[in-house]
Structure 1
């Protein structure tokens, strides 16, 4: 089983990459072949609205998205991660979503593949949910099967969201940390990676 992780952060190798990496590590531990793609290291132009993809499953533009199209076709599961930018995905992530339009207009090329979303945010209950919701909508648009992880025990969070909020100081002001310090977010990310592979095995992927 092949699991492709796509990081939509503008900062490669930082918190969002670490969260996505935790999911991929769990998937690899469960037997999957995994790969992490950093969108910030790729040259991916904006969709120009030429509508060429209304008649074909390829894009009129030629850039690094070409290789990524191939990786997405070959993957059995795609994990998409983004930091929260004003309550939704980053512009880089949204551009990636826009450029997957050729995989939807003629046919749903990604239909039946597994998928999952991850997000990083500043506050525990402010923004990350919207980011995951848009990723879920993107998965649904492509007719992918979205996996929502939940570790055993009491529900801890609405999804794989790692935040930089560490509590309030004596004056009621936020205390910040690296998102890498969010044990709950990373636990759910690892569960997502494991669950993706478990479901893939049940489906014979």
Structure 2
């Protein structure tokens, strides 16, 4: 089983990448072949609305999205991660979503593939849910099978969300940390990777 992780952060190798890598590591431990792609290291132009993809499952633009199309075609599961930017995905992630239009207009090329979303944010309960909701909508548009992880035990969070908020000090001011210090978020990310592979096995992939 091949699991492709796509990081939509503008900063490669930082908190969002670490959260995504935790999911990929768990998937690899469960037997999957994994790969992480940093969108910030690719040259991906904006969709120009030429509408050529109304007639074909390819894009007329020639850039690094071409290689990513092939990786997506070859993957059994796609994990899409983005930091929360003002209650939604980053501009880089949205641009990537726009450029997957050729995989939807003639036929849903990604139909039946497994998918899941992850996000990082500054505050708890302050935009991350909207970010995950948009990723879920993107998965649904492509008719992918969305996985939502929940570790055993009490409910701890609505999804694979890692935040930089560590609580309040005695004066009521926020205490900040690296998102890499969010044990709950990373536990759910690892559960996500495990669950993605488990679903793939049930589907015979």
TM-score (ref. length: structure 2): 1.00
Match of 1:135 in 2: 135
Write the mapping of 1:15-34 to structure 2, written as runs, cut at 5 A: 15-34=15-34
Distance 2:27 2:196 in 1: 7
Distance 2:169 2:34 in 1: 40
Write the mapping of 1:2-151 to structure 2, written as runs, cut at 5 A: 2-151=2-151
1:14 offset after TM fit, Å? Answer: 0.1
Distance 2:174 2:88 in 1: 21
* Greater than 3 Å deviation, 4+ residue runs: none
Deviation sequence 1:123-173 (CA, Å, 0-9, x none): 111011000000000000000000000000001000000000000011111
The alignment partner of 1:201 has SS state of helix
Distance 1:64 1:157 in 2: 35
Distance 1:153 1:87 in 2: 28
Match of 2:167 in 1: 167
Unpaired runs of 5+ in structure 2? none
2:155 pairs with 1:155: yes
Unpaired runs of 5+ in structure 1? none
TM-score (ref. length: structure 1): 1.00
Distance 1:163 1:77 in 2: 25
